[in-house]
Each structure stands twice: as structure tokens, then as C-alpha cells.
Structure 1
């Protein structure tokens, strides 16, 4: 399979729950993509939306049609991201699949570079360079500065909010399980050498303010614990270096404000019970 064959298709699956404030920017960034070299379909999988998300998506359909791409909206009253992913997967026609959150903004070269990275018969996982969007609050900006310097981020191919797989890669798992961290679950289906980070960026917003950072971080940590409990075998694919005492000291000395903010969130998460509650922090 190559990205240039006429029968190749990239299905871009966007999960959406009450995203009227963000879905327009996401779709605009997809419309602005460079030529991808294959057919493209966009599927917005709306789960239990009770705002204008679906209405906004419908308004974009003629614009995608003009470009020669298909935009569909799957509407379901059933809440939950895993179900939304699985419904879209069942409807998707492309051998290549890209999964992104509705608040992601992609740079124009992203889909073409991802499709090229997936153009192999070997199982492949691809994503762009994750860039944290500039936050409104100084506290979130400080937290993001340190978060971006952690070994997990510096190792590349993080895929938080956007990842893609080819047909052989998607065959690594069946339906998305009903777990918190679907992106971590998908990434850990692949060894580090099977994961590719392309040069084009995507912009990922971070939760605003201390309380929201704590709630989101608690959920993220709960997702990691859940995967370790349910799927311990895939943890061998993590491939990230530990921060260590020396690394923590270096971060503290080079950006003490960011370190204090990050450490405060870390301590607050550890001293309060974890839960499965969903929070984007906006």
C-alpha cells in the first residue's frame, strides 16, 4: 500500500462531545491541508452532543465537497469517546486511519506527511510534532513549559490528541476498549521503532488554571494505571527514559517557576483520590 495509489484512502476520524467552540477551527485546519496524495474522508463522530456541534459540521460539508473530500457526521445519543471511535471505525472506508480530538488544529503539511509515513506494508503508527497551544493563564503556560521538557515529550511521537495508523497497524487491536486513555493504548501497540513523528505540527490545548490541571492530570494518571492493570504486556513498548533525580534538578534550576507549578499539580494529584471523571478543563 502506498499513499499514491488511486484506491488508497485516509479516513480522518474526529470525536466530538459539545465542541461548538473548537470544531470550526479543527475543520478549517483540515480544509487547509496540502494535497495528501490519496483520497480523504472526514468523519465527525458526535457523541451525545447537545450544543451546535453537529449543526456546525453540517455547514462545512459543501466546503469539503468542493475540495473533493467527503465530510460526514455520525450522530449518537450515547456518550463516551471509545464508542464514538468504534462507530466511526465501523463506518470508515480508508485503509489508513487518523484519529484526532475536535480541539486539535493541524498545520497544512500534516496529513500529507502522515500519509507518506504510513505508506508501507509494515505496521506503522504516525503523528505530528505536538505543540501546546498558548494558554491564557500564566500558570498553565508555566506548567506546559516544564511538561514539554519531560523525557516523554522529548522522546517524540507522543500522539496525544492525534495519531494515525496504516492497515497493518490498525490490525494490532480490535475495537477500542472502554478505557480512559485510548491514545496511550493505541501508541503502545507499537514498538518505538514502529512509531514515526513527522515534522509538521499539530496544536494541542492544555487545561486552564490549577484546578483544571489537577483534574485532567488525575484522569491522565488514572488512565496509565488502568492500562498497566488491564494490558501490562504492552508497557514493554513504552520506550521512554526516566526523569531521575538529576533530570528533575536540572529542570528546577533552569526554570524554577515552571518546576514549582508542575510539582504543585503533581502533589495535589497524589494527595487526592483518582477517578474516572471526564474533564477537559474549559
Structure 2
């Protein structure tokens, strides 16, 4: 059985679609084939919009499936605190942590539950796809980014990741960090990280400036986690492509490489500085 924890900050217009995709999910199956319930916890943190109300409007549909659902409202906007609040209310051992703008495919949650049904510590994630890429530049960037070796063949956990009980025992509360997905991934070696062939969809930034700010935030989050867990970087393996891999990508798609490189260069300039701690950049 599995608990899905969804922190949601100002997600009106997004959380409903996220939850409808969860509702359309196949149920996890016990080893004897019996369908198992899914607990869903939405933690609306620091919301001044209708995030909680939008989530609550779907509570009846979850009840019809026999899937327990809870909406928790926190006054302060903090994703780590929202994750901790969700963990405190989770009733099942396998935990899925999901961003509130993710659309899961019907088989993803059941696939995560299946691969994590083991006694040893384990981490799992699905295959990422991108939606809402508007215009030639963003579409080219998204296509190239998904071809990076770690995205194409690793278990990055961007937007959705899951752990079993033994894996969750490797850390206590989520600390106040920007990149919770990297924080969790750094607790697992590659052989403990399990890809699930089912996919999920998440949105890309809406324009070049937002993309650069989002990418800078990712880089800052990675640097923060490396300072916090220096041993984790060595344990989890490299995420950046090697020189040989970059050359192969360049030769196979020089235009995409140029688009990707232009964003990486812009990240290192002060022109597109982030405003505040949180910038989703949709």
C-alpha cells in the first residue's frame, strides 16, 4: 500500500488536473493480486488562492474509489515543511512525493509500488516527459534535455520520486533545502535506484527568462545538497554528462546542443537573477 504526498503552493488551476490523473491511476496490487488503496495527502502551504478548495472538490471521487484523501493547510509557504506534514499523516510504508503540477500515467503509481515492494532500502522514479513547451526554442531545449544520459537512462526523480520504508528510514525530517528530490536521491546508490517504465508529464518554463531562472535554481539546489551531503554525491554517481557524452549529443543534434548551451551560459550571467526563494517559472 502506498501514500502519495503532494505539497502545493499557489497551485490553483494545476492541483485539480494533478489529482484527476492520480484518480485515473491503476490500483497497486498485493502479491496475491488484490487491489490496494492509495492514500493521497495534499499539503496546501502558504496559499492565498483556491488550491485547497480545488483539491477538496475532488475528495468525493477519491472516497468513491475507497482511497483515503486528506487536505492539510499550512499558513507558511515551505515545501520541506509541507513534505514533513504529509509524512506525519501518511499511513502506508511506501511513500510517493509528487509536485502539484504533475500528470502521472495510469500505471506509474502501481509500478512504483511494485518495484518498491522489497525489504532492502530502495528509491524509484518513472520516465519524464514535458508538456507546455511553447515555441521552437523551448521545444528544442526540452527535447535535448530529455536526451541527456542521466535523464534518459537514470532515475532522476524530477517532480515525482518514491521510497519504501527502509529507504525512508535513511533520513529524518526534510531539511530546509531547495532541491528535495536531490536530497533524497543522494541517500541511495545507483544499484538501489529503480527505474519504472511508466511515465509522467510535467510543464516546462514559459519563456527563456523563466527557463534560465529555473535552471539557475536547480544548479543552486544541487550545490546546496552537495555541501549538505558531500558523501551523497559520490554514492549516487554523476549526473552531468561526460565530455564524450556531450560530443555524441553535439554530433547527433548540433542545433539542440546550441540551444542547451545558450541556456547554460545565460545561467552564469546576472541578467536573469531569480526573484525570491521560489520561482517555478511556468
Q: TM-score range by the shorter chain?
A: over 0.9
In structure 2, the residue matched to 1:3 is none
In structure 2, relative to structure 1, the CA distance for the partners of 1:105 and 1:187 (3 Å cut) is: same
Contact 1:42 1:70 in 2 (8 A): yes
Contact 1:10 1:39 in 2 (8 A): yes
In structure 2, the residue matched to 1:269 is 267
TM-score by length of structure 1 reads 0.93
1:241 positional shift: 6.4
In structure 1, the residue matched to 2:18 is 26
In structure 1, the residue matched to 2:166 is 168
In structure 2, relative to structure 1, the CA distance for the partners of 1:126 and 1:242 (3 Å cut) is: closer
In structure 2, the residue matched to 1:86 is 84
Secondary structure of 2:221's aligned partner: helix
TM-score by length of structure 2 reads 0.93
Please tell me the root mean square deviation across aligned C-alpha atoms, in Å: 1.6
Contact 1:146 1:259 in 2 (8 A): yes
Cα distance per residue 1:147-205 (max 9 Å; x no partner): 11112212321111001111101000000010110001101111101111111111121
In structure 2, the residue matched to 1:155 is 153
In structure 2, the residue matched to 1:209 is 207
Contact 1:129 1:156 in 2 (8 A): no
- Give the distance between the partners of 2:172 and 2:239, measured in 1 at CA: 29
1:249 aligns with 2:247: yes
- Give the distance between the partners of 2:240 and 2:220, measured in 1 at CA: 19
Deviation beyond 4 Å, 4+ runs, structure 1: 273-276
Contact 1:155 1:240 in 2 (8 A): no
- Give the distance between the partners of 1:23 and 1:241, measured in 2 at CA: 30
In structure 2, the residue matched to 1:199 is 197
Aligned residue pairs: how many?
Answer: 274
Secondary structure of 1:148's aligned partner: helix
Contact 2:83 2:174 in 1 (8 A): yes
In structure 2, the residue matched to 1:6 is none
- Give the distance between the partners of 1:34 and 1:245, measured in 2 at CA: 41
Contact 1:137 1:208 in 2 (8 A): no
1:242 positional shift: 5.0
1:60 aligns with 2:58: yes
1:134 positional shift: 4.6
Unmatched segments (≥5 aa) in structure 2: 30-35
Cα distance per residue 1:26-85 (max 9 Å; x no partner): 111111011212231100011011111111111100000000001110001111100100
Q: Bigger CA drift: 247-256 or 103-112? A: 247-256
